[in-house]
Amino acid sequence: MYRIRHLNRALLVCIIVNIVDAQETTVVNSTFAAKNVNEKQNTPAVKQKYRVDNDYIGIKAHNSIDFLPNRTICGLLSDEDRIFGGENAALDEFPWLARIKYLLNNGKEVYACAGSLITNNYVLTAAHCAVNLTIKEVRLGDWNTDTQPDCQGRVCNDPEVDVLITQVYIYPEYSKSDTFKGDIALLQLQKPVQFSDFIRPICLPTTEEIIKQDNSSESVFWTAGWGKTEYERKSNIKQKLALNAVPIDYCRKRQAIITDESANYVICAGGEAGKDTCVGDSGGSLAKQITANRSTNWFLIGVTSYGYKHCGSEGRPGLYARITPLMDWILHTIQL
Residues identified as active-site:
128, 183, 282
**Residue 232: partners with Cβ closer than 8 Å, 6 or more residues away:** none
Answer whether 100's CB lies under 8 Å from 114's CB. Answer: yes
DSSP string computed for 128-182: GGTTT--EEEEEES-SBTT-SS-EETTEE-PPPEEEEEEEEEE-TT-BTTBTTS-
End-to-end Cα, the chain, rounded Å: 44
Q: Are 304 and 114 in contact (CB under 8 A)?
A: yes
CA distances 233 to 20, 32, 86, 228, Å, are 14, 29, 15, 5
For residues 23-48, b (16+ Cβ closer than 10 Å) or e, as one string? eeeebeeeebbbebbeeeeebeebee
248/171 Cα distance (integer angstroms): 22
Whether the Cβ atoms of residue 267 and residue 215 lie closer than 8 Å to each other? yes
